[in-house]
Structure 1
Amino acid sequence: MLYPHVIKVISPIHFLTPPIGFLFFFFMLYPQRSFKRWQWLHFLPFLLHFIELIPFYLGPVEAKIHEAELIMQYKSLINYPSDVSYFSPRTLVLLKVISTVAYSFLTAGMLIQFIWKAGRLVYQKNRLLLNWLAASMSIRLVSLYFTLSYVTGGISFNNLNFSYSDLLMNMDAMLNVAFLFVFPSLLDGVSLNSLVLRLNEPARQAEPGEDEVKLAKYQQIAERLEHHFSKERIFLNPDLSQEMVASALSVSPRALSRATVYMYNLSFPDFVNSWRIAYIVENQKVDETWRNYSQELLAEYSGFGSRQSLNNATNRLYQLTSARYFSAQLEK
């Protein structure tokens, strides 16, 4: 009653949070996928409900006060007469609950399926991320139980007063915000198994007659290079150059080139292509969608730019066509 202009402001948001939660989980688990145009359809209910409420938002304050008085009179956010929107408050709540339940179970199923198929190595690499998502999903399902209980009349929230049940129903969002403040790197999503440091640990020892100083120098560059590739995934840039990487690592292009030859027996372009190929292999192992991509799409999404470049790289590095190489990797 003190702030009538906020009446109904949160109503469209109830249609917005379930799809956002689902897409948040989706892109955490599959960060290599891009947002598709058809995915905007997830937000259609929010948009339609928001549009129908615009006349109410821009209307006189008396209409808002009247709406608040009805809520207070009937002591309910669900069972009271209102002509503000096309659907009655009860029907709107039913639609919101259906949306929340559907997206919650879709999200839970997607998470369970990913963990089941990911394998031990991918799980170990992403243990913190996957455990966090599982905990968040558990709280969301508990919150869903309280929401359904309230809507069906199983529990009462002490009329319209705030209660600890309200707090629990918002704990999922609070947990996620707090967790990301502590571990912001989790927003990078799942890291694939090949996109980690590939140098032997402990650090390789100098062989007889090998220059220890040179080994230490190039090993340090290689470690920084792999960390940069793993964290930033700059190898996905088809225009990536040796000069760009050298500048990012604060080394000379010549030192960078010598490091890849010395540590991996690979030229810098071949080193970059080995990461791109590993990226495709790991995506195909954990994401069935990637197994159905054409060679052109695989080349585009991995930074090669063209099918011919991808095929040339697999021929040079593994003496196989790209199609045969990826087929062999999936059979392992």
Structure 2
Amino acid sequence: MLTIVELCYDFVISTLVGLFGLHLITKKGMLASKFLGLYFLIFCARIILAYFATGGRLQEYPHLYMVGSPIHFLAPPVAFLFVYFMLYPAQKCKIWHCLLFLPFVLHLAELLPFYFGPVENKLSEIQLVMKYKSLVNYPGTVTYFPPRILSFLKVSGSTIYAIASFLLVLHFIRKNSYKRSFVINWLLAYTSLSLLSIVFIIAYVMGIIGFNNLQFSYADLLMHLAAFLNVGIVLYRPDLLDAVTFQSLVNRLQPEQRHPEPDEDAEKLKKYEGFAQRLEEYFVAQKPFLQSDASLDNTAKSIGISARELSRTTQYIYELNYPDFVNSWRINYIVEQRKQHESWRTMSQDLMAEQAGFGSRQGLHNAINKLHHITPAAFFAQKDVE
């Protein structure tokens, strides 16, 4: 009988991260968002495959045996490249990025004959697993390396990538002197938890926790601390699933993309990140964009900065002028309302425009056409099915 925790982990979380992954991969966006989407899909697959490998289900579904093994070589480079492209979004995929997946390809290739081989071979291996009560310490014959050595290679690779990701974030912080940033805090927490997860993974492989007994263990949750953080981040900031928002957050890390005016000290640009945080907090709490008088002067006065500073903030941080920034919030507001309330789906564009602060249908049309390059009808139809 599954516990509440197992039900939540095996079915709720797996479904959630699977949907996150599919959304991020299928929508246009940055490489960082694509790797985050692939990261979520891998996490989903690991949860599902772990479910069929525990609780006595391994013998009932022999065709799934060893299917998850190559994933252990796939997940670490995907996680590393997610961090890399978050920090360096202007970089393109290079040959060395592809070489990171060579262990995954080689391991998958050696397992293909086993996958497509007779079920008797799978049942024979499963009997060995059940006899030794371990997926790590048993005399397997499927792979070139015995399971114990193979597990050592998997853990070693995961450890190297986790350390590399953590050092990459630290190097970026020191180089750019960042003290406070949503994305930096996210990546720092993520890479730190990745290192902590490695400790639990090593303990699990060594049999210190979990006992390798083919049963669900809370150690399974401890080994995915970093993944749970990413799920929490997206739940906390669901707007990250929107390509425009994701890109604006990532781009704000790149000082070379923010050019100071001739009479302006480049060091002063750092303060705009603080202004942006105050602006976002004000928009979340007060929703001034719902009012037609959400002018530059009124907003600047409300958050305690000058209109000139506010204008520069939206331009440098979001690469949007202030009116477009406000309109992006209005559009996202309509999208969320249509998801949460059926009445909004049948509402006319004139009424939606009025409710969201546009004032007129033409204003709504112009904003969506400028920011998303399609008509409102096409835009909302697309969002309604996501």
Asked if 1 retains the 8 angstrom alpha-carbon contact of 2:190 and 2:226, the reply is: yes
What amino acid does structure 2 have at the position aligned with 1:150? Y
Query: What is aligned with 1:202?
Result: 306
Q: Distance in 2 between matches of 1:203 and 1:38?
A: 46
Asked if 2 retains the 8 angstrom alpha-carbon contact of 1:56 and 1:84, the reply is: yes
What amino acid does structure 2 have at the position aligned with 1:134? L
Deviation string, structure 1 residues 236-276 (Cα, Å, up to 9, x no partner): xxxxxxxxx996269xxxxxxxxxxxxxxxxxxxxxxxxxx
Query: What is aligned with 2:168?
Result: 110
Query: What is aligned with 1:189?
Result: 250
Query: What is aligned with 1:72?
Result: 130
Query: What is aligned with 2:322?
Result: 223
Query: What is aligned with 2:202?
Result: 148
Post-superposition offset of 1:182 = 3.6
Q: Distance in 2 between matches of 1:10 and 1:249?
A: 41
Matches within 5 A, 1:1-332: 1-120=59-178, 123-124=179-180, 127-157=181-211, 159-183=213-237, 184=240, 185-186=245-246, 189-191=250-252, 192-193=254-255, 194=258, 201-203=305-307, 222-224=321-323, 248=370
Asked if 1 retains the 8 angstrom alpha-carbon contact of 2:136 and 2:212, the reply is: no
Q: Distance in 2 between matches of 1:63 and 1:113?
A: 49
Q: Distance in 1 between matches of 2:371 and 2:117?
A: 58
What amino acid does structure 1 have at the position aligned with 2:98? W
Asked if 2 retains the 8 angstrom alpha-carbon contact of 1:224 and 1:249, the reply is: no
Asked if 2 retains the 8 angstrom alpha-carbon contact of 1:129 and 1:186, the reply is: no
Asked if 2 retains the 8 angstrom alpha-carbon contact of 1:27 and 1:189, the reply is: no
Q: Distance in 1 between matches of 2:112 and 2:368?
A: 53
What amino acid does structure 2 have at the position aligned with 1:109? L
Higher relative contact order (CA 8 A, sep 6+): 1
Q: CA RMSD in A?
A: 3.1
What amino acid does structure 1 have at the position aligned with 2:83? F
What amino acid does structure 2 have at the position aligned with 1:148? I
What amino acid does structure 2 have at the position aligned with 1:223? Y
The structure with the largest alpha-carbon Rg is 1
Structure 2: segments with no counterpart, 5+ residues: 1-58, 260-268, 276-295, 309-319, 328-366, 373-386
Deviation string, structure 1 residues 275-306 (Cα, Å, up to 9, x no partner): xxxxxxxxxxxxxxxxxxxxxxxxxxxxxxxx
Change (3 A) 1:223 1:60: same
Q: Secondary structure at the match of 2:215?
A: coil
Asked if 2 retains the 8 angstrom alpha-carbon contact of 1:18 and 1:99, the reply is: yes
Q: Distance in 1 between matches of 2:371 and 2:76?
A: 41
Deviation string, structure 1 residues 155-198 (Cα, Å, up to 9, x no partner): 34362211111111123213213422442134652413427889
Post-superposition offset of 1:116 = 1.6
Asked if 1 retains the 8 angstrom alpha-carbon contact of 2:134 and 2:212, the reply is: no
Q: Secondary structure at the match of 1:28?
A: helix
| TM-score normalised per structure 2 | 0.50
Q: Secondary structure at the match of 2:209?
A: coil
Report how many aligned residue pairs link the two structures: 216
Change (3 A) 1:222 1:103: closer
Asked if 1 retains the 8 angstrom alpha-carbon contact of 2:210 and 2:217, the reply is: no
Asked if 1 retains the 8 angstrom alpha-carbon contact of 2:193 and 2:226, the reply is: yes
Q: Distance in 1 between matches of 2:229 and 2:101?
A: 24
Query: What is aligned with 1:275?
Result: none
Change (3 A) 1:128 1:85: same
Deviation string, structure 1 residues 83-105 (Cα, Å, up to 9, x no partner): 11111111111111111111111
Q: Distance in 2 between matches of 1:42 and 1:222?
A: 40
Change (3 A) 1:148 1:248: same
What amino acid does structure 2 have at the position aligned with 1:180? V
Q: Distance in 2 between matches of 1:45 and 1:158?
A: 24
Change (3 A) 1:158 1:129: same
